Amino acid sequence: MKKPVRIIPMLEIKNGLLIKGINFEGFRVLGNARDFAQLYYSHGADEICYQDSVATLFGTSNLIKFVSETAKNVFVPLTVGGGIRSIKDASDMFKAGADKVLLNSAAIDNVKLLKKASKIFGSSNITIIIQAIKIDKKYYISKSNGRDLVNIDPVEWAQKVEEFGAGEIIITAINNEGLKKGFDIPLTKKIVEKVSIPVIAHGGAGNFEHIYDVIKNAKVSGVGIASILHYEAIKFLPKVKTKIGNTLYLDSVKKISKHLNTILKIKKFLKKKGVIIRDDK
Amino acid sequence: MINKRLSAGIIDLKFNNLFSIYKACIKAGFRTSIISTKQKTLNYDFVIIPGVGAFKSGMNVLKKNKYDEKIFNYLLKPNSFIYGICLGMQLLFEKSFEFGSTKGLGLIKGNIPELQKKNKKMKTNMGWCKIKFLEKKSKLSLKNFDNKHFYFVHSYYANPANNSDILAKTFHGNFEFTSVVKKNNILGTQFHPEKSGNLGIEFLRNLKKYKN
């Protein structure tokens, strides 16, 4: 019996704020991450994923606080990543309420850490995020969302992390991320075919068709979605008061009073196309 | 009649998800506490054994803190009720084959084998799966959770010796395993209600209906 394809809101956070990186513009502040997380939970998200984009630089202590605040009211699996560099970091994250931790840079620097973590916490609680970049038809993996290129092929890396105990892989196509032009289906498909652990596609969802395409063609276990959800949710979530980051965009958003459940809409759309999803009441 | 809030005590197995189950029990309306190792007797309407992790270390924690004896004594009390979640459910059985063979609490007859080894893809069951209640048990009040998705993460499964202890089953690929067990005042689910969304919270809220 097939499992439903998981719809996973991806929240990029900084100091507990939900942000969205836009080329040449820096970071847009969209609101309080936990407001979004809770909204998506109530809308039927199958899992929530937090990625702290600055924790690699500034440590995880802030992130831990926001994770435990979020976990109070979110009763689906919560995956958390960003700045996790040791067994202790991971352990702290689990204690704060994370169900799975995301590793990227730390696993690239020292793949043995992955092996150790999966032994201690169980494979199924360790997810590897692969940030793949394509330059002149050649693929690389990267650290810090593409800032540091590493000359390893993403498909080979996927096989290696499975061997070292990863329980799941999120494949982020950096080139596609935020562009809303669809996922990198060929790359994602190749990884799905080469590993036997679940693979989540992320980066590029611009409309519901894109989500369906990657499920149908790459046979992924889940889809990570950001922009499509955030830019709808922002219209009715409370406005955040902050002095950090660029809030110009927030000021321009026209507020509406009606709650739009984009996750449910996506699931209904997929169901109509024959995809198995979870929509229990 | 006074509508007294029911109490739930959670055993601390020193693993990851204590916080989640604690919050979920509060959300479900229980007066919730973490059972301290110093407590000599357990006085709760429900005692919950949560758990993520390995059988052997789970059992070691139970024994080290004399939780096993406390549980046996608790179960002798009228109106007691034990609920094991995931590893917590597996610990209720006689023995597990995780890393050799380890004895469990032996409250339910049966053992804990590994999910099919033959197929690599079947090694771990992670994700949302439907639970199907067995026909004969349809009288039970939790039937409204029949055919609904709950969240599972496990590599071992419960194999009860007596069919009468099986309440519901679940498919992992083509393989069907027991996902809910019940024997007298003992209940166990392989899934995590604290990770199963609103339906999981509802499941916890309805625990009292399982008492009879």
Residue B132 has pLDDT above 80, yes or no: yes
Per-residue tokens: B55 = 């059988």
Q: Is the pLDDT of residue A137 over 80?
A: yes
A144 vs chain B: nearest CA distance in angstroms?
Answer: 27
Q: In this predicted structure, which of A19-23, A33-37, A196-200 has the lowest mean pLDDT? A: A19-23
Confirm or reject contact between B50 and chain A (CB < 8 A).
Answer: no
Q: What is the token pair recorded at A190?
A: 């190749």
Q: What was the pLDDT predicted at B67?
A: 95
Portion of chain A with pLDDT greater than 70, in percent: 95
Alpha carbon of B159: minimum distance to chain A alpha carbons (Å): 20
User: Who's near A136: CB < 8 A, 6+ residues apart?
Assistant: none
Q: Find the CB nearest B16 among A46, A121, A198.
A: A121
For residue A209, CA distances in Å to A83, A192, A228 come to 33, 20, 12
In chain B, residues with a C-beta closer than 8 Å to the C-beta of A73 are 23, 27
Provide the shortest C-alpha distance from residue B116 to chain A (in Å): 14
> According to the model, what pLDDT value does residue B22 have?
93
Contacts of A80 (CB under 8 A, 6+ apart): A49, A50, A51, A52, A63, A67, A93, A96, A98, A100, A101, A102
Domain ranges of chain B: 7-210
- Strands B175-183 and A168-173 come out as unpaired
pLDDT, mean over chain B: 89
What is the reported pLDDT for A24? 46
d(CA B26, CA B31): 7
Residue B169 has pLDDT above 60, yes or no: yes
- Of A252 and A34, which is predicted with more confidence? A34
* pLDDT value at B16 more than 70: no
Domain A6-272 in CATH: superfamily? Aldolase class I (3.20.20.70)
What pLDDT, on the 0 to 100 scale, is given for residue A249? 74
Domain range summary for chain A, segments of one domain joined by +? 6-272
| Range B170-187 average pLDDT | 94
What is the set of active-site residues of B?
A: 86, 192, 194
As a whole-number percent, the residues of chain A with pLDDT over 90 amount to: 63
> Which is nearest to A52 in space by CA: A70, A39, A67, A69?
A67
Instruction: Pinpoint the alpha helices (H) of A53-207.
Output: 55-58, 61-71, 87-96, 105-109, 111-121, 154-163, 185-194
- More confident position, B133 or B117: B133
Coil, strand, or helix at residue A29? strand
pLDDT-derived band at A51 (thresholds 50, 70, 90) equals: very high
pLDDT per position as a tens digit, A96-116: 889 999 999 999 999 999 999
Please give the pLDDT value at position B123. 80
Torsion A105-A107-A113-A116 (CA) sign: positive
Contact of A19 with A245, CB cutoff 8 Å: yes
Mean pLDDT within B17-39: 91
Superfamily holding B7-210: Class I glutamine amidotransferase (GATase) domain (3.40.50.880)
Q: Which residue has the tokens 């992390």?
A: A161
**B174 close to A (CB below 8 A):** yes
